[in-house]
């Protein structure tokens, strides 16, 4: 394992940067630094995500739906809402895993609060 982390984030429209930042901080408090926040392309323009990435000094990476769909067999907590809205098994878990091309394991599975969902994956080196 590399110790490199990716944070997947899903959120409702208008989700607060404060909530996103707090959940990320709580989830990663005892872990290695993350390489970025990863989410679905559909969330481009979501102010709370952009502001949270800026506050956390992390890049915000938008992934296409097909990349998240490719993680379907790896997602621990499928989201019926994400499937209905975007056609993907999850946003947060799938995005965190997809950040490393699927060569990752979840170290913090789906955690949701106040319209924000996060998950943290660690890269696995072969």
Query: Per-domain residue ranges for the chain?
Result: 5-123
> What pLDDT score was predicted for residue 33?
83
> What pLDDT score was predicted for residue 67?
97
Output the CA torsion sign for 1, 8, 115, 60.
Answer: positive
pTM of the predicted protein model = 0.91
**What's the CATH architecture for 5-123?**
2-Layer Sandwich (3.30)
Number of residues assigned to the chain: 126
Q: Supply the angle between the helices 17-28 and 47-56 in degrees, to the nearest 10.
A: 40
> What pLDDT score was predicted for residue 64?
98
User: Which two structure tokens, joined as six digits, stand for 74?
Assistant: 């790896």
Contact (CB, 8 A) for 34 and 7 = yes
> What pLDDT score was predicted for residue 1?
45
Q: Which residues contact 78 (CB under 8 A, 6 or more apart)?
A: 72, 89, 90
Q: What is the pLDDT along the chain (126 residues), one digit of tens a residue?
A: 457 899 999 999 999 999 999 999 988 888 888 999 999 999 999 999 999 999 999 999 999 999 999 999 999 999 999 999 999 999 999 999 999 987 999 999 899 999 999 999 999 886
Q: Which residue has the tokens 């993680």?
A: 71
| Residue 31 CA to its chain's centroid (Å) | 15
């Amino acid at each position: 394992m590399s110790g490199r982390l990716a944070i997947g984030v899903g959120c409702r429209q208008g989700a607060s940067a404060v909530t996103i930042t707090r959940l990320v901080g709580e989830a990663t408090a005892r872990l290695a630094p993350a390489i970025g926040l990863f989410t679905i392309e559909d969330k481009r323009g979501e102010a709370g995500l952009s502001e949270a990435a800026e506050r956390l000094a992390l890049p915000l990476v938008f992934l296409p739906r097909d990349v998240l769909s490719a993680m379907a067999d790896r997602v621990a907590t499928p989201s019926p809402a994400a499937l209905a809205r975007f056609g993907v098994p999850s946003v947060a878990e799938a995005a965190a895993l997809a950040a490393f091309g699927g060569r990752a394991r979840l170290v913090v599975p789906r955690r949701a609060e106040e319209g924000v969902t996060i998950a943290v994956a660690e890269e696995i080196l072969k």
